[in-house]
């Protein structure tokens, strides 16, 4: 028999078996489709939230932050006083230093950082804690002293202004830009005066010139941006730069840059991945759980194909023997059952992909207001075409693996034994 004719016969036999037991094979298709549907839906939902959070955090937050803390290269205090004749025998308690830490020569350091490969901008600032008061309401704030023009290159906050203008902050010495949630909690509106005081400092009256809605509740709830000189006055740290923020072309390279900056400057540097390590580890755990659920469901669908194929092999043992006796080889029988598994898997993938696409479209249109790590008024859905390809590949693998055992069993049938009535 010619190869082409042999393959046509194999395809005919496979299709005939599928059609004769279309109900059973339909159930197997539904099992595979359910697994693909879960793969697409779960990945779309989980990735939607994660991708939105990572997009917003890498826009609002700097990619690398250089702090005023120097990396200590000194040993314990007692070791610093070692001598042939001991000067100090025991240190009972080391008092913290009252020296104000600051970044030395920040202008030169900013220029140096901007010259590094992959860095698009660097900006100096000062951060501290304060209390904002409007009327009888007060709340703790994360006070950020910045140069509004250069800061917008590092963290483009101007695009998040919903009332007022970011430019106004740069030309208003006593101006302040508040997160929308912070302003609501204080009852402050655009143009109102806000009293801000830091521990041990004097209260300063500031005018609200802009309100920002970054979409991240943790930022909008506590952030207050003022001019650098104003922050230095409120925090009682004149002419002090406490941190330098860096923006990169590729945020994923932030870890490597942070390590390089630490070695170059001697100051503590932190990437955005380190800052948000808790959230990233949580996302990683969620992805593992979702992957285990998807594998479990696809495995159940694979067992459905396996059970149906084994039942067909047992019922068709005599027919297989006849086919072998008229010239079909073991490989032909093997291909017949593998082809059935592939068809079931591909049909399941097609149905699952279509159902998953419709489900994501439906859920993406649902109005659901949430204010967790990010703000949203609807389901956060990530529509990635690769999800559908992953579903097809996984279902195909499941179909092949599940069909392999019954296919090899059918291929081992000896026609002489069956026709003599000796096969089980």
pTM exceeding the 0.75 threshold for the entire prediction: no
d(CA 337, CA 293): 28
d(CA 272, CA 59): 11
- CA angle (360, 401, 419) in 5-degree steps: 135
Residues 235 and 284 placed together within one structural domain of the fold: no
Residues 150 and 189 placed together within one structural domain of the fold: yes
Can you give the residue range of the structural domain that contains 240?
102-270
The whole-number pLDDT of residue 98 equals: 47
The whole-number pLDDT of residue 13 equals: 67
Among 398, 384, 407, which Cα is nearest to 34's? Answer: 398
The whole-number pLDDT of residue 397 equals: 82
Average pLDDT of adjacent 10-residue blocks, the chain of 424 residues: 63 71 77 83 82 84 89 56 55 54 87 92 92 90 91 90 91 92 92 89 89 88 92 89 92 92 90 89 84 77 72 65 64 74 84 89 78 72 83 81 72 60 50
Q: β-strand 193-197 against 175-179: which pairing, if any?
A: unpaired
Q: What is the tally of structural domains in the chain?
A: 2
- CA angle (222, 189, 224) in 5-degree steps: 25
Domain termination site, one of 249, 270, 291: 270
Q: Does residue 294 form part of some domain?
A: yes
Residues 156 and 122 placed together within one structural domain of the fold: yes
The whole-number pLDDT of residue 55 equals: 83
Q: Does residue 210 form part of some domain?
A: yes
Residue with tokens 């959230």: 279
Q: Does residue 347 form part of some domain?
A: yes
Residues 110 and 238 placed together within one structural domain of the fold: yes
The whole-number pLDDT of residue 381 equals: 81
The whole-number pLDDT of residue 44 equals: 84
d(CA 169, CA 175): 5
Residues 120 and 264 placed together within one structural domain of the fold: yes
HSE at residue 48, side-chain half, CA atoms within 13 A, is 18
Residues 242 and 115 placed together within one structural domain of the fold: yes
């Amino acid at each position: 028999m010619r190869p082409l004719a042999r393959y046509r016969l194999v395809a005919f036999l496979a299709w005939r078996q599928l059609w004769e037991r279309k109900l059973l094979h339909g159930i197997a298709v539904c099992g595979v489709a359910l697994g693909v549907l879960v793969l697409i839906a779960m990945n779309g939902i989980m990735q939607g939230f994660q991708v939105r959070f990572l997009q917003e955090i890498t826009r609002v937050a700097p990619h690398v932050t250089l702090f005023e803390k120097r990396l200590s290269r000194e040993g314990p205090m007692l070791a610093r006083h070692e001598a042939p004749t001991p000067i100090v025998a025991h240190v009972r308690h080391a008092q913290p230093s009252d020296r104000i830490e600051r970044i030395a020569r920040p202008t030169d350091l900013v220029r140096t950082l901007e010259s590094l490969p992959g860095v698009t901008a660097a900006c100096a600032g000062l951060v501290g804690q304060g209390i904002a008061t409007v009327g009888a309401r007060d709340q703790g704030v994360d006070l950020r002293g910045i140069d509004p023009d250069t800061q917008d290159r590092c963290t483009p906050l101007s695009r998040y202004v919903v009332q007022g203008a970011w430019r106004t902050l740069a030309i208003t010495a006593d101006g302040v830009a508040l997160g929308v949630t912070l302003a609501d909690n204080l009852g402050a509106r655009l143009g109102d005066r806000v009293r801000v005081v830091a521990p041990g400092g004097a209260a300063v009256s500031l005018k609200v010139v802009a309100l920002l809605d970054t979409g991240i509740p943790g930022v909008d709830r506590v952030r207050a941006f003022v001019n650098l000189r104003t922050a230095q006055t409120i925090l009682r740290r004149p002419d002090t730069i406490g941190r330098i923020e860096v923006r990169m072309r590729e945020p994923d390279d932030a870890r490597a840059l942070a390590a390089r900056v630490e070695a170059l400057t001697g100051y503590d540097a932190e990437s955005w991945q380190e800052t948000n390590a808790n959230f990233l580890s949580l996302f990683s755990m969620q992805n593992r759980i979702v992957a285990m659920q998807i594998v479990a469901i696809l495995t159940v669908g694979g067992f459905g194909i396996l059970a149906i194929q084994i039942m067909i092999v047992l019922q068709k043992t005599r027919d297989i023997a006849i086919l072998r006796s008229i010239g079909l080889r073991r490989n032909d029988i093997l291909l017949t059952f593998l082809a059935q598994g592939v068809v079931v898997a591909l049909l399941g993938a097609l149905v699952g992909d279509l159902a998953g696409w419709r489900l994501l479209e439906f859920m993406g249109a649902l109005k659901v207001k949430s204010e967790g790590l990010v703000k949203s008024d609807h389901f956060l859905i990530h529509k990635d075409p690769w999800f559908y390809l992953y579903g097809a590949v996984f279902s195909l693998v499941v179909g092949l693996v599940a069909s392999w055992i019954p296919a090899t069993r059918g291929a081992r049938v000896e026609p002489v034994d069956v026709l003599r009535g000796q096969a089980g």
